């Protein structure tokens, strides 16, 4: 049965959060998940303004098997927006059936149709199965780049500097 992909709706907020928690468990980062349904709903489905991110869900028949969460960024070099894939997760018992590829292809088609200059994402360096999967699809590993992050505490500290 082919994978069915559809946009998440406000009624899917709990399901998206469940997938986020499953992903965090897989990545051994469960303690870092502070999102709850209310905070996630406010960001994905705000009452006013544009959403901070969007999500699509993958189904095997009627069974939800995975999700992807993405947002748009911008390349100054290309002078075009890009699609940034924040998270992609398929439940372990459904891996190898093409659901992850279906999610990635769905977003690649969306990025192309919307004129994005590129699609990017990060992968943990120990996640060999995902790295190999992405390389098979033609993704280039950007080994010359190092990710940088300011967490909330660092942002608060810098905001207080004159």
Assign 69 a pLDDT band (cuts: 50, 70, 90): very high
The closest of 97, 115, 99, 108 to 139, measured between CA atoms, is 108
Q: Which CATH superfamily is domain 4-160 in?
A: Gcn5-related N-acetyltransferase (GNAT) (3.40.630.30)
Residue 134 known to be catalytic: yes
Strands of 80-90's sheet, edge to edge? 4-7, 54-60, 63-75, 80-90, 119-121
Which of 26, 70, 72, 134 does the annotation list as catalytic? 134
Assign 162 a pLDDT band (cuts: 50, 70, 90): low
Give the model confidence (pLDDT) of 78-121 as tens digits.
999 999 999 999 999 999 999 999 999 999 999 999 999 999 99
Whole-angstrom CA distances from 45 to 39, 60, 86, 134, 139 are: 10, 25, 17, 29, 30
> Are the CB atoms for 90 and 3 separated by under 8 Å?
no
The answer to whether residue 144 scores a pLDDT higher than 80 is yes
């Amino acid at each position: 049965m082919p994978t069915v992909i559809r946009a998440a709706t406000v009624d899917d907020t709990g399901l998206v959060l469940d997938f986020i928690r499953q992903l965090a468990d897989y990545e051994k980062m469960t303690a870092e998940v502070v999102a709850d349904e209310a905070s996630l709903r406010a960001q994905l489905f705000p009452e006013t303004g544009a959403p901070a991110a969007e999500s699509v869900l993958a189904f095997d028949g009627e069974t939800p098997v995975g999700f992807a969460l993405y947002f748009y960024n911008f390349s100054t070099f290309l002078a075009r927006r890009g699609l940034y894939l924040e998270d992609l997760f398929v439940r372990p018992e459904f891996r190898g059936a093409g659901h992850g590829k279906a999610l990635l292809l769905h977003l690649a088609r969306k990025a192309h149709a919307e004129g994005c200059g590129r699609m990017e994402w990060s992968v943990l360096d120990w996640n060999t199965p995902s790295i190999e999967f992405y390389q098979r699809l033609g993704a280039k590993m950007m080994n010359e780049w190092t990710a940088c992050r300011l967490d909330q505490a660092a942002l608060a500290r810098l905001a207080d500097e004159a």
